[in-house]
Amino acid sequence: MNTASTPATPSTPATPTTPTTPKIVIVTGASSGIGAATARRLAAVGHHVVLGARRTDRLALLTKELREAGHSAEHAELDVTDRAGVRAFVEAVLARHGRVDVLVNNAGVMPLAPLAALRVEEWDQMIDVNLRGVLYGIAAVLPSMRERRSGHVVNIASTAAHRVDPTAAVYCATKYAVRALSEGLRQENSDVRVTVVSPGFTRSELTDKGGDAEAQGAARTATELIGLPAAAVAEAVGYAIAQPAGVDVNEIVVRPTVQN
């Protein structure tokens, strides 16, 4: 794992965008889109970000960018569908820093297609990445958070967790599930904060791979026309994390104003 020392406490007064104490934050799916934007946002306000994704070349470039800007960051390869790999990733962070303050479960895939297309392998992929990946992340960080009686799990869902659209049935099902398990996690823990951030159309690489060409093309066109910058979603994540320990922002829905 590429490492950097934990940053010193900032000398500037605390504000909603400046943490009183820097946190150790894991961000999954950090090689692009919302994950990369979240890493930039949180590092810029003084947190130490630990970036995970499969594309380590991109992670290396982002880590270099953050360090050259004077921020604190490290990265390592992470496949959220590999339960043992997720556990090892988190254990390495715990060994180096002694704690994980925040987990941002961001990794996701969205190969859109009608159910009748029977793209079963893509169904499995969405379940593995979007749902099991979130569960594996929670399983890896929750014991230490409960032991410390402190921690924050931020799950990136989607407005697809609030409605179902044609060609997106399985994707919506996984995001509905993320909302459900997040609420269960919240109810079961009084010391661990839980936040679900549900973005609408957001500029990212979600529509670049797999799925039905027509469905993916329609989603890509809509995103290009009205999509939020990934930085807008990162701001929502930063807002939730910046609240005092006794304040748990449970859910944020952020979408383009023109999205119905």
**Token digits for 207?**
């529509």
CB neighbourhood size of 50 (10 A): 32
Active-site residue flag, 171: yes
Distances (CA, A) of 29 to 38, 83, 157, 166: 10, 15, 13, 26
Residue 191 · residue 150 · CB < 8 Å: yes
Residue 59 · residue 51 · CB < 8 Å: yes
The active-site residue, picked from 136, 171, 176, 239, is 171
Q: What is the DSSP string of 33-47?
A: HHHHHHHHHHHHTT-
Helix intervals (H) in 104-212: 120-126, 133-148, 169-188
Distance CA 3, CA 218 (A): 41
Helix intervals (H) in the chain: 33-44, 56-68, 83-97, 120-126, 133-148, 169-188, 213-226, 230-242
CB neighbourhood size of 16 (10 A): 10
Active site residues: 171
